[in-house]
């Protein structure tokens, strides 16, 4: 689904590799006034890439994932496309910077049915697994809290909850495709991870 260019605060998140598409639709960016903003909330100004640049890499030791990160943006058709190289991960540069205390950091990557996709094994991530984002000299540690498989329709219906930027806590969200039916991926794997904060 593509949205009109003049529709504020909405975007479609898509992964396309070898004809595969991740359809995350209807995402609304909240104004940040509450933890669970309603879809009717007005969208804020875009979040800019910090002066120190985008994060560098994603590591998930439990699935042997260690991949470079590239900033990605919504194209003129309203689609967020990950890097064309299926071994790299995309960081939506209008999502939160890793380690932020507000918003969510959204990372997307390809699953390729024949193998070699950076997120082929994303569904194997379990609660408690370590997830790390390398950001310059800093490593931001997260612990996975849950892994869910959602149909494209479920993702569209829950886009605000899954990807909205108004929540507190700085959650990390990893998204890829799953459930290959011989022609297309019918669902998405979504991993949620919470930051590991120093007890100070």
Residue 93 structure tokens: 């540069």
82 phi and psi angles, rounded to 5 deg: -70, 175
pTM of the model: 0.76
- pLDDT the model gives residue 197: 81
- How does DSSP assign 34-78, residue by residue? SSS--TTSPP-PPPPPPTT-S--EEEEGGGTEEEEEEEE-B-TTS
pLDDT digits (tens, 9 = 90+) for 96-133: 999 999 999 999 999 998 889 999 999 999 999 999 99
Domain-wise residue ranges, the chain:
10-30+52-195
Give pLDDT < 70 ranges for the chain: 1-52, 78-79, 198-200
| SS3 category, 111 | coil
Q: 161 by DSSP, 3-state: which?
A: helix
Top CATH class of 10-30+52-195 equals mainly beta
């Amino acid at each position: 689904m593509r949205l009109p260019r003049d529709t504020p605060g909405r975007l479609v998140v898509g992964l396309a590799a070898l004809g595969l598409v991740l359809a995350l639709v209807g995402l609304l960016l909240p104004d940040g006034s509450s933890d669970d903003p309603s879809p009717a909330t007005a969208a804020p100004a875009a979040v800019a890439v910090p002066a120190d640049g985008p994060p560098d890499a994603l590591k998930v030791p439990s699935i042997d994932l260690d991949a470079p990160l590239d900033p990605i943006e919504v194209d003129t058709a309203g689609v967020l496309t990950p890097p064309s190289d299926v071994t790299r991960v995309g960081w939506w540069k209008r999502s939160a910077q890793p380690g932020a205390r507000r918003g969510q950091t959204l990372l997307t990557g390809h699953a390729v049915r024949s193998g070699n996709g950076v997120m082929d094994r994303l569904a194997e991530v379990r609660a408690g697994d370590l997830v790390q984002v390398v950001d310059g000299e800093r490593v931001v540690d997260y612990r996975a809290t849950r892994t869910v498989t959602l149909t494209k329709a479920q993702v569209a219906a829950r886009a605000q909850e899954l990807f909205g930027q108004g929540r507190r806590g700085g959650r990390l969200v990893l998204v890829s495709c799953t459930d290959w039916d011989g022609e297309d991926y019918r669902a998405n794997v979504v991993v949620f991870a919470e930051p590991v904060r120093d007890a100070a």
